[in-house]
Amino acid sequence: MSRRRLVWLALAGGLLLLAGGFYFDRAQLVVVDAKMNRVLLRTPVRVGDRFTLSYLHSVAKSRVSGTFEVTREYTIGVKETAFGSFGPGLPDVRVGDDYEVKGGVIRLKNLSQMLPELSFFVHPYTEHRLEIAGRTLDLSRALEAGARVSITVRPPITHWGRRAAHSMTSQGADGAPRRAATGGSP
């Protein structure tokens, strides 16, 4: 085979690989330092993948954790909240709620709220941690006090460079959706 033909085959193969990479792009969970517009974590996710965000409640002084799931709409589904005691900003358990109390922890289960974004402020004393796919990101240690964190799901590119349809309003340079902040800790 001639050298010229090998070069053309290599170029064609490379273009096919590149095109395939864009065509079969996966959704990504994107964690951003919103003040600095700096990506802290970008990891591939699939619909149904779960992650946990936990923090130390500033008033109740107990650990609070939320379990979230990537939805078919590429939003964030709230699945479960666990906390040690009631306090400001924590849910009340009502008649008919699916919950359990075990080992001093109240676990509110089978929640169905969907969010376009998780947005919250971190401080060293809140000990915010994100756990996904066996990895832990210590947000309170990685950022300065008062930093705002934004967590979104960036949908996959389906074909011809278009992102899957969902409730995104606009995109930043990192590909993450930009939406209004939701305030304090989840």
Phi, psi of 34 (to 5 degrees): -65, -35
Q: How far apart are CA 105 and CA 126, in angstroms?
A: 18
Share of the chain above pLDDT 70, in %: 77
Q: Which residues on neighbouring strands pair with residue 118, listed in sequence order?
A: 151
Output the pLDDT for position 183: 38
By CB neighbour count within 10 A (0-12 exposed, 13-18 middle, 19+ buried), where does 35 fall?
A: middle
Is there a contact between 180 and 34 (Cβ–Cβ < 8 Å)? no
Q: How far is CA 90 from CA 85, 149, 165, in A?
A: 9, 19, 32
Is there a contact between 51 and 132 (Cβ–Cβ < 8 Å)? yes
Share of the chain above pLDDT 90, in %: 48
**Chain-wide mean pLDDT for the chain?**
81
Does residue 20 carry a pLDDT above 60? Answer: no
How many CB atoms are closer than 10 A to CB 8?
Answer: 11
pTM for the structure as a whole: 0.73
Res. 94 pLDDT band, cuts 50 70 90: confident
Does residue 60 carry a pLDDT above 80? Answer: no
- pLDDT (tens digit, 9 = 90+) per residue, 120-131? 999 999 999 999
